[in-house]
Amino acid sequence: MSAFFFFPVVIARPFIGVRRTLWVTRQLIRWYGLVVTRFLMFPFVRIIYKDFEKGKEPGVCVYVCNHRSSSDGFLMAYLGVECVQVASNWPFKIPVIGWIARVAGYLNVQKMSSEDFETTACQLLKENVSIVAFPEGSRTTDSKVRQFNGSVFRLAQKAGIPIVPLCISGNQKMPEKDSWVLTPGTIYLHKLPTIHYEEFKDLIPFKLKNMVREIIQNEVDKLEI
């Protein structure tokens, strides 16, 4: 299905230019994510999205999210913005999906130096493309939010842009690790209040990443009591 969904990009790519191709691909990824989460998973999986600042968009920013499942990337469609996800090697190895991620300009941090990551990400931000990161690096199987990598926090400080924490809960078995079988249930995606640059510009990255991690952990704890 994913190959059919993105076939128009293959046809149109030579005619619409690089930037337009990137925008179209990212929009198709968003629509595909909504189709998967709202229709293909229904009625077995219910998704509850809560925006703590509805109607008050942060503009271009870094979204920081905890990582519970391979389905997390699809949930980013609910943000409704042009964005690029930061990922490790494995999504790029999946047939079709890996090709789509590369066409969309997704960032494979395991194949980039820290300098290349920062340069590429800053250019995306200048183009009004937000960055979505899962700084735990790998998914967790319990309610504990693991330690964060500091790269995206240094990026936010260098670019002078806000950080928006995202909390995911309930999909740790949707699917389970090393499986493609969905377990029925409810997934919660909470877009928490924006942390503005002025609030963290003087913090060292270590303190900043721990502050954001604690905010997300507190929300996970509320959802998983």
- pLDDT for position 54: 86
Please give the CATH topology (third level) of the domain spanning 2-223: Glycerol-3-phosphate (1)-acyltransferase (3.40.1130)
Q: How do residues 20-75 score in pLDDT, each as one tens digit? A: 888 888 988 898 899 888 888 778 889 999 999 988 888 999 999 999 988 899 99
> Which range, of 7-21, 45-59, 157-171, 180-194, averages the lowest pLDDT?
7-21
Average pLDDT value for the chain: 88
Label the pairing between strands 185-191 and 163-169. Answer: antiparallel
pLDDT level of residue 112 (50, 70, 90 thresholds): very high
CA distance linking residue 163 with residue 191, whole number of Å: 11
pLDDT level of residue 89 (50, 70, 90 thresholds): confident
- pLDDT for position 224: 84
At residue 215's C-alpha, the angle toward residues 212 and 220, to 5°, is 125
CA distance linking residue 205 with residue 201, whole number of Å: 9
Region 137-149: mean pLDDT is 89
Other CB atoms within 10 Å distance of the CB of residue 75: 23
pLDDT level of residue 183 (50, 70, 90 thresholds): confident
- pLDDT for position 166: 98
Region 162-190: mean pLDDT is 84
- pLDDT for position 179: 65
Name which residue leads in pLDDT, 91 or 217.
Answer: 217
Domain boundaries, the chain: 2-223
